[in-house]
Amino acid sequence: MQGKLFWISLILLGLALEGVAVYYQYVLNEPPCILCIHFRLLLVLLILFSLFGLFFRKNRAGRLIVSGALFLTFAGMCERAYQLLGTEKGFVKGECAATLNFPEWIAVDKWMPSFFEPWTSCGYTPKLFFNITMAEALSVFSFVMLLLAIMMLIAGLRRSEQEY
């Protein structure tokens, strides 16, 4: 299940979603909010962990560690998507700052402001297609990917048990 094609597919998926974000920001003039930037950062983690998965795909311990890291990444995506959807629909009341306020050692908004700097406050996401908002699509995507990560972990643990 976690062969070369699988990991390359995850890398391409992460890159494609980052490309969609940039397209919406610069071509369609849809400014990103802080939650959108958080999601972009989680997509960077998806790409990085998938690269590790590609490299360690033949190592049982490596696969389990990467699968666990992806599980945490997708759980984070679910939480951020829920916050974004809740802010958009009004069932989550919270403050959405205009800056990331990350420490200097990871100040990605300062290092790459054209990609990681929030431009607007939260509360609105653009419509993608069929009247589905980006927040709705990200929520479904995140949940499906979290289920995939759970299946990866279970498969990896089962395989480990069977090999002993």
pLDDT, tens digit, for every residue of 11-59?
999 999 999 999 999 999 998 888 889 999 999 999 999 999 999 888 8
Tens digits of per-residue pLDDT, 97-139?
666 677 778 878 778 888 888 878 777 788 888 999 999 999 9
- Domain of residue 9 covers 4-162
Copy the structure tokens of residue 3: 């062969």
CATH code at position 68: 1.20.1550.10
Q: Give dist(CA 147, CA 40) in Å, integer.
A: 20
Number of domains the chain is built from: 1
Answer yes or no: are the C-beta atoms of 153 and 64 closer than 8 Å.
Answer: yes
